[in-house]
Amino acid sequence: EVQLVESGGGLVQPGGSLRLSCAASGFTFSSYEMNWVRQAPGKGLEWVSYISSSGSTIYYADSVKGRFTISRDNAKNSLYLQMNSLRAEDTAVYYCARILYDSSGLDYWGQGTLVTVSS
Amino acid sequence: SYELTQPPSVSVSPGQTARITCSGDALPKQYAYWYQQKPGQAPVLVIYKDSERPSGIPERFSGSSSGTTVTLTISGVQAEDEADYYCQSADSSGTYPRVFGGGTKLTVL
Q: Inter-chain contact A103–B45, Cβ cutoff 8 Å? A: no
Q: Inter-chain contact A47–B1, Cβ cutoff 8 Å? A: no
- Residue of chain A whose Cα is closest to the Cα of B3: A46
Output the tens digit of pLDDT for each of chain A's 119 residues: 999 999 999 999 999 999 999 999 999 999 999 999 999 999 999 999 999 999 999 999 999 999 999 999 999 999 999 999 999 999 999 999 999 988 889 999 999 999 999 99
Q: Which of A47, A100, A110 sits opposite B99 (nearest CB)?
A: A47
Nearest C-alpha of chain B: how many angstroms from A84? 22
Query: What is the per-residue pLDDT for B96?
Result: 72
Q: Inter-chain contact A109–B98, Cβ cutoff 8 Å? A: no
Can you name the residues that pair with A80 across neighbouring β-strands? A21, A71
| pLDDT above 80 for B2 | yes
Q: Decide if B31 touches A, using CB distance below 8 A.
A: yes
What are the C-alpha distances in Å from A74 to residues A24, A29, A108, B66, B68? 10, 7, 18, 40, 38
Which pLDDT tens digit goes with each residue over A5-19? 999 999 999 999 999
